[in-house]
Structure 1
Amino acid sequence: MRNLHSLVLWQLGVAIVGGDYPEGSILPSDTELLARFSVSRTVLREALKTLAAKGMIEARARIGTRVLPRSRWNLFDSDVLAWHFETGPDVALLRSLAEIRIGVEVESAALAAERRSDQQAEALIAIAVGMGEAKTPEEFARADLAFHRMVAEASGNPFMASVSALVELALTAAFTISSPIEDAALTAAAVKSHGRIARAIEAGDAEEARLAMKAVISEGFARASSRMAEGKPARKGRA
C-alpha cells in the first residue's frame, strides 16, 4: 500500500507520462493540486521534488512548474519506467529497450563466457531448462529475467549487473508482453535459444555468446511488436 507521498508521486508521474500534462506544459497550481489530492503542502512539495530529481519537471519563479522534454527524463529510473508501462508501452519504447539491451547484454554475454564460474555455468543451464517448465507468462518472465541477471553476474563486471538492475522493471514487463508461453513451438524455440547462450558461456565461446544473446533479444522484440501490431493488449502484471 502506497503512502500519501508515493500516491501523489505515482498519479502525477502517470499523468505526465500519459500526456495529461504534455512536455512544455505548466502543471496546475499548488492550490489546485492540494485540492485534488487532499494532502498537506509538505507531501505535495516532496512529490514535486522527487519528479524534479527524475528530470521530469522544473519549477520557475513567477511561471510555475513546467514539464520538461522527455529527453531530460531519467528513463533508467524504476518509477519512470513503471509509469511508461502503466500507461501502456508502445513499439517505439520496446524497440529502444531492445537496442539498449543489445548494447549492454551482448557484451555481457561475451564477458560471461570468459569469466563465468562453474557454478554460474551450471545455473544458466538449469534456468534455461526451467523456462520450458513455466506454466504462465509471469512464470516465464521470472525465469527469463533470472537468466539475464545470471549472465550479468557471470560477466564479472559490476556495472553490467547495475545496468541490468536499473532496467529490471522494464525487462520484466517486456518479457511478459513477449512471452511465447501460449504457443508450444515458440516456447520450445525460446528455451532452445537461451540454451544456446548458456552452452556458449559454458564452453567459453565469447563470439557465439554474443551472437546467441543478440538473437534472443531480437526475437523477443519481434514477438512483442508483433503482438502489439495485432492489437492484442499488453499484459500489465509484474513478474
Structure 2
Amino acid sequence: MVDEPAVQLGRNLTYGLLDSIGRAIVTGQFEDQVFPTEAELAKQHGVSRSVTREAVKMLTAKGLLSARPRQGTTVQPTSSWNLFDTDVLRWMLERQLSVDLLRQFNELRVAVEPEAAALAARVAGEDDIKRIDDGLRRMQAAERGLDDPLEADIAFHVSVLRASKNPFYIQLRDVVSTALRTSIRFTNRIKGRTADVAEHAKVRDAIASRDPGAARVAMRTIIGDVLVLIEDRLPSTD
C-alpha cells in the first residue's frame, strides 16, 4: 500500500507523456525531422527514462512509432496508425482541419449503425430496449435543458450497438463515443440545434416493433443527414 501513490504518479506521468507525444505526432510536429531518442524525450519532458520507454512502447502499439535495432525510433505513416484506438482517433479529431476525417468516420457509421439497428430489431431483449428507451428519454430531457445533449445522443447510439448483441459492433462503442463527441458538436453548430429526437424515436420504435427494415432506414436517415451537413462544409474539388 505504501507504493500505491508512487505507482499512480508513474501512470499519470506515462499517460501525460503519451498524450503529449501522440498529439505532436498526429499534428505533424515530427515531419521532416529525426524522432528524438528516449534520452532526449526524457530530458525535454522532465521525466524518467522508464516513463519515456513505457510511453514510446504504447505509441508503438498504437502504430504511431516503429522501433528497430540500429534504425532507432521512427514515426510511422498515417496508414499504419490504429484508427480504432480511441487515443489516436481523439488526436486526429483534435487537429485543426478534421472535417474530412469526420466525413470518413460517418461513412463508417452509415455502413455499421443501420445494420446494427436492423440486427437489434431481430435480437434485442427487453433490457436492451430499455437502454434504448433510456437514451431516448435522455435526449428528450436534453431538449428541455435537463440533460447533456451530447452525452444523451451518445448513450442512444451506443445502446443500439449493444442491442445488436454482435460483439464486433459492440466493440465499436468506444470508437463511436469518441468520434461522436466531435461529430455531434460540429453538426450541432451547423444546424444551430441538437439532434432530431423524432428521427431517433423512429429507430427506437422500429427496434421495439421488431421491424429490421424500418430500423435500418431510420438509422441511415439520421447518419445520412449528418453526412450531407459535413459534405456541404468540405472545400469544393472543382
Deviation at 1:217, TM superposition (A): 1.2
Letter in 2 for 1:95: R
Q: 2:20 aligns with which of 5, 8, 11?
A: 11
One of 32, 38, 41 as aligned partner of 1:33: 41
Is residue 52 from structure 1 mapped to residue 74 from structure 2 by the alignment?
A: no
1:57 deviates by 0.7
TM-score of the pair, normalised by structure 2: 0.83
Number of equivalent positions: 224
Check whether the contact 1:55–1:74 (CA below 8 A) recurs between aligned residues: yes
Q: Is the 8 A contact 2:100 2:234 kept in 1?
A: no
In the alignment, what sits opposite 2:5? Answer: none
What is the CA-CA distance between 1:101 and the residue it aligns to? 1.1
After superposition, where does 1:95-106 map in structure 2 within 5 Å? Answer: 95-106=103-114
Q: Is the 8 A contact 1:26 1:64 kept in 2?
A: no
1:207: how far off? 0.9
Structure 1 residues not aligned, in runs of 5+? 230-239
After the TM superposition, list the runs of 4 or more consecutive aligned residues in structure 1 that deviate by more than 4 angstroms: 224-229
Query: Which whole-Å CA distance do the structure 2 matches of 1:53 and 1:123 have between them?
Result: 34
Q: Please, what TM-score do these two structures have when normalized by structure 1?
A: 0.82
Superposed displacement of residue 71, structure 1: 0.8
CA distance in 2, matches of 1:150, 1:52: 32
Matches within 5 A, 1:88-99: 88=96, 90-99=98-107
Give aligned-pair identity as a percent.
Answer: 38
CA 1:217 to 1:190, structure 2 compared with 1: closer, same or farther past 3 Å?
Answer: same
Aligned-pair RMSD on alpha carbons?
2.6
Q: Which amino acid is 2:62 matched to?
A: K
Counterpart check, 1:64 vs 2:65: no
